[in-house]
A and B are shown apart, each in its own frame.
Chain A
Amino acid sequence: MTWLASIRIALRALRVNKLRSTLTMLGIIIGVAAVIVMIAIGAGAQARVEEQIKALGSNLIMLLPGSVTAGGVRMGSGSRNTLTEDDSYAIQREVRDVQASAPQLRGTGQVVAGNTNWSTVFYGVTPEYFEARNWVIASGKGFEPADLSGAGKVALLGETVTRSLFGDADPIGQVIRIRKVPFTVIGTLQRKGQSLMGQDQDDVILMPISTARNRVLGGSTARLRTVGAIFVKVREGADMADTEAEIRNLLRQRHRLQPGAEDDFTLRNLSEVLGAQEASSRIMTLLLAAVASVSLLVGGIGIMNIMLVSVTERTREIGLRMAVGARGRDILMQFLVEAITLALIGGLLGTMLGVGGSYAIGHFAEWRTELNLQSIVLAVSFAAAIGIFFGFYPARKASRLLPIEALRYE
């Protein structure tokens, strides 16, 4: 008997019991859909983490000033002004595998443009900052060397700031006031989205570090040339640990620390933190898929249940088929094909439901979902495997019936 004939016989048998076939399939449909949706949600979360890594810049090291200890009370990292602009330039100059070393000075303040205002964060930076933090200029231009040396009153706006102050209007060439200091907007930054902590990374203004220090922040920081943080981007393929050690040695030298003394700065490898986060989201995906697979398994048991009922119910038919020449293996094939057909049709319907469900969740719940072909192929072939696995026992039972007993079965 050919495969095609087996499939036709199976389809007829399933059509005869439409309601029962549909209910049986439902288990598989829900199982497959659940697997696809869960993997889509997991993959979406993973893709978001990956995107954040990209936005942050790969191979990124962050340097923060050390902590102040006053009367036994330690104030936490960043409380002491130990890092300077010159440290950053030295790292750029002297550490071999550094691609970009960028100092950052942070401030907050009210920004006014015409009759609207907005409270935001501004950073005093150097041109290397764009490379180190992967900022892309969306429109306008970046800082000129003259802007840095002469503390030019120019600014680049993040997307959120642009939208808050100017709406859809073009901000380039407009004048804004940051802490009452007038600035000319020379460019806008491309959108980066949320950070890992859920912060809006686009709610930001960038200005030359000299401008921030001398014209906006003022005070003691102007004298000391200290910075809030230094971002170091390491060349692709370089050994991160080696580079970290080199930077640490350089800074210890520059800060004249005795051997055995504690670092007066903190060095953090941000990519590692993100890598860990990515790994955890991958585990989450696996977990979700595993839970969904259980429902697929339950669906498979449903198939076995119905196939056993079907074999009992159709004992006479099996007897007749045997009487007219069906061999045990023809009967086995017939019931196996039936179970696989059930599972496969269920699998295909489940795929449609799963794909639709993923889009619906992405759209209505605004969760990011990411469909991939692999998960669909996996779910459908898993469904087919379940058909074979759970269909085999009932099919074998049918094929081992004795023709006379099957024919006389009431």
Chain B
Amino acid sequence: MDKSLIITRDLVKEYRMENYTVTALRGVSLDIAAGEFVAVMGPSGSGKSTVMNLLGCLDSPTSGDYVLAGEKVSEISGDALAAIRNRRIGFVFQNFNLLARTSAVENVELPLLYSHCPAEERRSRAMTRLAEVGLADRAHHQPSQLSGGQQQRVAIARALVNNPVLILADEPTGALDTHTSFELMGLLQELNRGGMTVVLVTHEHDIATFASRIISFRDGHVVDDQRVERPADAREMLQALSKEAAHPS
């Protein structure tokens, strides 16, 4: 085995409906090394969401192998899978999925609740992560009192709190405006520079350009897999955007 963090071989996923079967993935083999920033692209129905669910251990493949950080997770299920999600993977969703009427810091603590972390340590780790995403002063605000960008940063702090090996972001900018999207991508790029592996699902080309590798899906197959020599820098883009706003041409 090489040093790849994610190895999939011939992943097939079929969904059984009442009297017919939908094949969402038709044999996907991928290798993603630790420290990569991968964007998964494709039109709806291409299988990119399915591959996301499988990589995130939210679902099990119909056939094929999936090895995450040396662990063959395609053969385990149920509670063991929940434990993998808890310890190995951090999720960021399009609609943030924060618990309503629950403070930011308590939202960040959520994964630790399921890994039997003592209350004091839980709070201090959550506060550290919130500070890393620049929201230390918003720790006791509820999601409804935060902007969309702030909510997504809380979600990223939550994804990071249990020291995962992989961040899975499913259309994280889908509900954000351009400026906030760039800010968020900057944050993800920063994490990636720190060594974190990030897999991002998006259908927006300009968002995908921030990744170092773009994998395109169509009809359940990988149709394109290319490295980006010089990914766009979200911080620079953001500065350019601010200048544009200050001096409209």
Contacts and interface: CB of A to CB of B under 8 A. Distances in A.
Given A321-B110, A324-B85, A325-B85, A404 B53 contact: yes
A320 interface: yes
B79 A327 contact: yes
Interface string A315-351: 0110111111111111000000000000000000000
Interface in A377-410: 402-404, 407
Contacts of A320: 93, 97, 99, 110
B114 A323 contact: no
A320 B90 CA distance: 11
A330 B114 contact: yes
A317 B93 CA distance: 13
A1 interface: yes
B158 A324 contact: yes
Contacts of A73: none
A14 B79 CA distance: 27
B243 interface: no
A365 interface: no
Nearest to A16: B101
Interface residues of B, number: 27
B183 interface: no
B217 interface: no
Given A320-B99, A323-B56, A324-B111, A407 B93 contact: yes
B87 A325 contact: yes
B115 interface: yes
A208 B97 CA distance: 93
- Interface range, A side: 20 to 34
B86 A403 contact: no
Nearest to A406: B58
A404 B114 contact: no
Contact of A326 (B56, B82, B91, B97): B82
B78 interface: yes
A316 B97 contact: yes
Nearest to B101: A16
Given A325-B85, A404-B58, A1 B114 contact: yes
B116 interface: yes
Contact of B110 (A12, A319, A324, A407): A324
A169 interface: no
Interface of A: 1-2, 5, 12, 16, 316-317, 319-330, 402-404, 407
B79 A325 contact: no
Interface string B89-112: 001010001011110000000110
22 contacts: A1-B116, A12-B101, A16-B100, A316-B97, A317-B99, A320-B93, A322-B58, A322-B82, A323-B56, A324-B86, A324-B114, A324-B158, A325-B86, A326-B82, A327-B78, A327-B82, A327-B83, A328-B78, A328-B79, A404-B53, A404-B59, A407-B58
Contacts of B58: 322-323, 403-404, 407
B53 A327 contact: no
Nearest to B115: A325
A16 B144 CA distance: 14
A206 to B, nearest CB: 75
Contacts of B91: 323-324
B213 to A, nearest CB: 24
A366 B99 CA distance: 53
Given A325-B82, A325-B115, A326-B114, A407 B102 contact: no
B52 to A, nearest CB: 9
Q: Which of B93, B113, B116 has the most CB of A within 10 A?
A: B113
Nearest to A324: B111
Contacts of B56: 323
Interface in B218-238: none
B113 A323 contact: no
Contacts of B102: 12
A231 B93 CA distance: 90
Nearest to A2: B116
Contacts of A404: 53, 58-59
Contacts of B78: 327-328
A2 B112 CA distance: 12
A329 B93 CA distance: 24
A303 B178 CA distance: 46
Nearest to B116: A1
A330 B86 CA distance: 13
